[in-house]
């Protein structure tokens, strides 16, 4: 496996290997499995967890990292093929990626959706282009459509909490947010739960159904794994017997790239779609609350949930480091001595 | 000691240990006392010395670091409890601190005063909140009211120069600056000199007395250590027989959070309160000039002082690394192998 | 050699040593020649290659780095001697350089031309001042007039490609760019090719001759090395029999510091001075295309050239790491154990 662009890039066997290694590394975090290895990190968008957990993952295993942040100390970068570069961007990823790859054994790249054209973003063409430009192993640190390192960490979190694969009830719920957000996290969370064989419900208001391309792919995964996917606007129904609620906001696909219209559709949902403790009445008593972070408190989720015993968001974030450490060791196949 | 939020967090015995270790590490800077250790650094405000000296301190002893800078490559962060996060901040420190703590053995955090409410800033509530949110050892890299790593370095600098503890005359002088600045450095320098048992004079213009809470606390420290604290507007008197002048600007407490009124009070003091060589006429001939840096040349201090033989500002900054190296080794108690 | 400010700082013997070591390090990139060594990197201007390749160079040899970026997480810095610092800059390089030098065994600093006064920029006074302020070895990471790490990498690239020293035909061509750019890269490329003993042609439109100070110095170098330098506006003539075309944009010296007038002179040259495949008709069939990067695609160079077999820009960038690794090892003289 040269590239990890999507959870689907890991075969079942390799996924098991990575999850098992992640558990072992959680118990003994420091080692030299990456001695002599350099991991380059390119962030086209802001980051806290990914930035810190990737660096810690690599250096705790004896490797080293460098970070490049276009627009914050580094040149702004152009991504469009054939662009006539007379604007702000001084460098094209067609140079930046192969150049940085020469300084590293593996590159990790974050590049969010542009949010203008739905089909374009759902194709996730840019991260695939960057991976092709990179002759070294390549890890997606969140692209237009996928956040597979988050999906790995989420999977491990559900395992840690002994939430069942078969028969586990997983709710992916839309939540209000002041901006129209991309599909990367909901898409990856959905595919993760589907592949884990869970019974998944997508809970969202009218007008905020996930795009057909996202749902169809997740349903195909669920079919293979023996799980199921349904969607509904009925919170009571969705939460009934749930083991876990995963909250995330995403754009209305009908008004994708039309911020004013999208905001008008979203505006009246503000209070109704902030996750509160009352949402969990129909769930299992110890149902868990998950979120990829960062989260806007009292906008997407009330303090009472985040600060209460259901919330496992800190553990999810902790698992980012363990999962990425395992992934990179698996991808690089040991240290260089 | 889980947290180092203030010089007072170090007992006399531990302070001696840290200062002795800092001297040893100055002589042999490279080692492996932090092998396998990760130090996370969160900067809510700009930094040069702290950023560089913390990284060098940790990596020269075999450890590793990561840096997170909200607003510059990372999400802006909310700090207020109960906030409804519909503004610019995408992440709350209630998540960020425990998340980052999972990737590190120790966190260092910089978070300056807000400059709106005097009592609030003097309580230094935010850094205490962040330390409580952090299950790992925590170091204050400058908060609303304290800059204890600077105080450690300053103490070592005075020791290096053989400036006496008992009977040493230390002048903390206000200096002009284009902006109203917080009390962190003057407060920490004052407490450091008081605890060192020195005779301290606070020299400042009318209207720029340090807040009572700062003075009272420092006086109590002086009483315990056998030192003394007085304040005056009379430069001749203050500098008489002085061993050291420590310059710093700070806001008028009477107009705290009222920038226009504060600036009007400060404006006429501009030239008068720029430290010049002539200030040192009444002092001991080899009296030293100290400043925490960064310093605005020819505004707070004239080139003739900074570039002359009295200035020990570079040594102070050098001692940041030695002192922090010793502190972190003492806090983490050796390497992890 | 304490400082590497310019290719001329390396004697012929040392230059050979560095180039030989660079080749060896390309073959075995990981080692411990810099174990226990700290390299501080100060970037007053944006960077991608230098930022990443310096960090990788040092850490792959067992050393460590820290990065300070004024204006992006760090205080803005004043560089003018005698400045009255009541503007945006909170810190002066007179403090910053000696302070950072205490945390490191070597400092690397990037500080571009100001672009206001031609003579001032060509004197390259600032980087020399900063090197003098630094008691430790000091490396120029691109100054007003020189980019010697790029020159080292370019020399190695020409060697890698077996482009002859004696008799090799090297064309340095002006190319269009939306902004007036400094002379650092063209000046260093010109001196590199001259010192390598090549026959150099500077190809540029009327009004864009390189300043006499740049040309004179390069001609003196060519005379010593047995090479030659001519300049022309005639592309056919310049490219005839060429082994290599090195493209770069630079300001008109007649309108240096007058952006509007300079832009008016440059505007009509836009399409004519974008390097295309047709430029290479008179060259040797396998003539190479070089550029220091970043490059604006379809503005300075057409995709057909950058994506074709002539382009060695990625290799040039890769050689940055190998050359800098060799340079730093040579400057620091081995590890500290």
For B230, the token pair is 């007085």
**How close, in Å, is residue C179 to chain A by CA atoms?**
10
C90 at interface of B, judged by CB pairs closer than 8 A? yes
Q: Tell me the helices (H) and strands (E) count for chain B, helix number first.
A: 12, 12
Percent of chain A's residues with pLDDT above 90: 97
Helical pair B148-160 and B313-332, crossing angle rounded to 10 deg: 120
**How close, in Å, is residue B300 to chain C by CA atoms?**
9
CB burial readout B30-68, b (16+ within 10 A) else e: bbebbebbbbbbbbbbbbbbbbbbbbbbbbbbbbbbbbb
Number of inter-chain CB pairs under 8 A, B vs C: 98
Q: Which chains touch C (3 or more CB pairs under 8 A)?
A: A, B
Q: What is the DSSP letter of B74?
A: B
Percent of chain B's residues with pLDDT above 70: 99
Nearest to A38 among C43, C56, C307 (CB): C56
Nearest to A303 among B70, B82, B99 (CB): B82
**Residues paired with residue C40 on neighbouring β-strands, in sequence order:** C66, C107
Asked whether the beta carbons of residue C293 and residue A73 sit closer than 8 angstroms, the reply is no
Nearest to B298 among C73, C85, C98 (CB): C85
Q: What is the pLDDT of residue C266?
A: 97
Q: What is the DSSP letter of C311?
A: B
Instruction: Write out the H or E segment, with its range, that includes residue C227.
Output: none
Domain B3-147+320-332 and domain B162-311 have a common topology = yes
Query: Across all residues in chain A, what is the average pLDDT?
Result: 96
What mean pLDDT do residues A300-314 have? Answer: 98
B296 at interface of C, judged by CB pairs closer than 8 A? yes
Nearest to A40 among C52, C73, C295 (CB): C52
Confidence class for position A211, pLDDT limits 50, 70, 90? very high
Q: Which residues contact C218 (CB under 8 A, 6 or more apart)?
A: C187, C190, C191, C194, C200, C229
pTM score: 0.97
Alpha-carbon gap, residue A334 to B17, rounded angstroms: 41
Q: What is the pLDDT of residue A72?
A: 87
Q: What is the pLDDT of residue C334?
A: 56
Q: What residue ranges in A26-84 does DSSP mark as E strands?
A: 38-43, 64-68, 77-78
Phi, psi (rounded to 5 degrees) for C169? -105, 115
Q: What is the pLDDT of residue A1?
A: 85
Q: What is the pLDDT of residue C336?
A: 46
Alpha-carbon gap, residue B324 to A1, rounded angstroms: 43
Q: What is the pLDDT of residue B336?
A: 47
**How close, in Å, is residue B245 to chain A by CA atoms?**
37
- Minimal CA–CA distance to B310: which of B243, B249, B237, B241? B243
**How close, in Å, is residue B69 to chain A by CA atoms?**
8
Q: Could you report the predicted ipTM of this complex, rounded to two decimals?
A: 0.97
Query: Which residues does chain C have with pLDDT short of 50?
Result: 336-337
Residue of C nearest to B71 (CA): C73
The angle formed by the CA atoms of residues C49, C50 and C56, to the nearest 5 degrees, is 85
pLDDT at A335 over 80: no
How far the first Cα of chain A sits from its last, in Å, is: 22
Report cis status (omega within 30 of 0) of the bond before A294. yes
Nearest to C294 among A38, A95, A336 (CB): A95
Residue of B nearest to C59 (CA): B59
| DSSP string for A10-33 | S-HHHHHHHHHHHHHHHHS----T
A78 at interface of C, judged by CB pairs closer than 8 A? yes
Q: In this predicted model, what pLDDT tens digit does every residue of B161-186 receive, in sequence order?
A: 999 999 999 999 999 999 999 999 99
Asked whether the beta carbons of residue A294 and residue B98 sit closer than 8 angstroms, the reply is no
Alpha-carbon gap, residue C257 to C267, rounded angstroms: 16
CB of A170 within 8 A of CB of A199? Answer: yes
* Three-state secondary structure call for residue C33: coil
Nearest to A99 among C49, C60, C299 (CB): C49
Alpha-carbon gap, residue C251 to C257, rounded angstroms: 9
pLDDT at A337 over 70: no
C267 at interface of A, judged by CB pairs closer than 8 A? no
Alpha-carbon gap, residue A59 to A65, rounded angstroms: 7
Asked whether the beta carbons of residue A68 and residue C51 sit closer than 8 angstroms, the reply is yes
Instruction: Write out the H or E segment, with its range, that includes residue B305.
Output: helix B303-306
Asked whether the beta carbons of residue A92 and residue C46 sit closer than 8 angstroms, the reply is no
What mean pLDDT do residues B271-283 have? Answer: 98
Alpha-carbon gap, residue C119 to A6, rounded angstroms: 55
* Three-state secondary structure call for residue A211: coil
Q: How many CB atoms lie within 10 A of CB C132?
A: 12
Query: Across all residues in chain B, what is the average pLDDT?
Result: 96
Alpha-carbon gap, residue C113 to C208, rounded angstroms: 18
CB of C141 within 8 A of CB of C55? Answer: no
Q: What is the pLDDT of residue B286?
A: 97
Instruction: Give the residue from B64, B81, B101 with the most A CB atoms within 10 Å of its CB, the best one to mutate.
Output: B64
Q: Which chain A residues are closer than 8 Å to B95 by Cβ?
A: 293-295, 306, 313-314, 317
What mean pLDDT do residues A47-72 have? Answer: 97
Q: In this predicted model, what pLDDT tens digit does every residue of A10-42 receive, in sequence order?
A: 999 999 999 999 999 999 999 999 999 999 999
CA atoms within 13 A on the CB side of C59: 30
- Minimal CA–CA distance to C335: which of C37, C14, C10? C37
Query: Could you say which of 3.20.20.150, 3.40.50.1950, 3.40.50.1370, 3.40.50.920 is the CATH number of the domain covering B162-311?
Result: 3.40.50.1370
Q: Which chains touch A (3 or more CB pairs under 8 A)?
A: B, C
CA atoms within 13 A on the CB side of A328: 39
pLDDT at B93 over 60: yes
What mean pLDDT do residues B286-309 have? Answer: 98
Interface of B with C in 31-50 (CB under 8 A): 43, 46-49
CB of C239 within 8 A of CB of C279? Answer: yes
- Minimal CA–CA distance to B53: which of C54, C99, C106? C99
Q: Which chains touch B (3 or more CB pairs under 8 A)?
A: A, C
**Residues paired with residue A174 on neighbouring β-strands, in sequence order:** A248
Fold (CATH) for B3-147+320-332: Rossmann fold (3.40.50)
Q: In this predicted model, what pLDDT tens digit does every residue of A234-267 receive, in sequence order?
A: 999 999 999 999 999 999 999 999 999 999 999 9
pLDDT at B72 over 90: no
Instruction: Give the residue from A35, A74, A86, A89 with the most C CB atoms within 10 Å of its CB, the best one to mutate.
Output: A74
The domain segmentation of chain A, as residue ranges, is 3-147+320-332, 162-311
Confidence class for position B255, pLDDT limits 50, 70, 90? very high
B283 at interface of C, judged by CB pairs closer than 8 A? no
Number of inter-chain CB pairs under 8 A, A vs C: 98
């Amino acid at each position: 496996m040269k590239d990890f662009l999507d959870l689907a890039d890991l075969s079942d066997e390799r996924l098991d290997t990575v999850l098992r290694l992640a558990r072992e590394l959680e118990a003994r975090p420091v080692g030299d499995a990456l001695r002599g290895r350099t991991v380059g990190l390119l962030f086209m968008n802001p980051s806290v967890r990914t930035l810190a957990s990737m660096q810690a993952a690599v250096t705790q295993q004896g490797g080293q990292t460098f970070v490049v942040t276009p627009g914050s100390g580094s040149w702004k970068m152009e991504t469009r093929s054939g662009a006539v570069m007379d604007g702000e961007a001084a460098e094209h990823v067609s140079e930046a990626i192969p150049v940085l790859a020469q300084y590293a054994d593996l590159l990790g790249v974050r590049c969010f959706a542009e949010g203008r054209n739905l089909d374009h973003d759902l194709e996730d063409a840019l991260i695939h282009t960057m991976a092709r430009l990179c002759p070294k192993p390549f890890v997606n640190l969140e692209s237009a459509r996928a956040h597979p390192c988050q999906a790995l960490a989420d999977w491990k979190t559900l395992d840690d909490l002994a939430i069942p694969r078969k028969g586990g009830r997983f709710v992916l719920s839309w939540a209000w947010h002041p901006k129209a957000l991309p599909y990367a996290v909901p898409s990856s969370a959905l595919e993760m739960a589907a592949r884990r064989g869970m019974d998944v419900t997508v809970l969202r208001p009218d007008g905020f159904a996930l795009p057909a391309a996202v749902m169809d792919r997740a349903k195909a995964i669920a079919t293979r794994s023996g799980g199921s996917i349904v969607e509904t606007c009925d919170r009571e129904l969705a939460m009934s017997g749930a083991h876990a609620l995963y909250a995330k906001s995403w754009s209305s696909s009908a008004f994708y790239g039309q911020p004013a219209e999208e905001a008008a559709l979203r505006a009246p949902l503000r209070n109704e779609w902030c996750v509160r403790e009352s949402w969990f009445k129909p769930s299992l008593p110890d149902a868990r609350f998950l979120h990829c972070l960062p989260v806007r408190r009292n906008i997407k989720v009330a303090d009472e949930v985040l600060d209460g015993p259901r919330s496992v968001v800190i553990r999810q974030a902790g698992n980012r480091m363990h999962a990425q450490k395992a992934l990179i060791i698996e991808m690089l196949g040991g240290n260089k001595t």
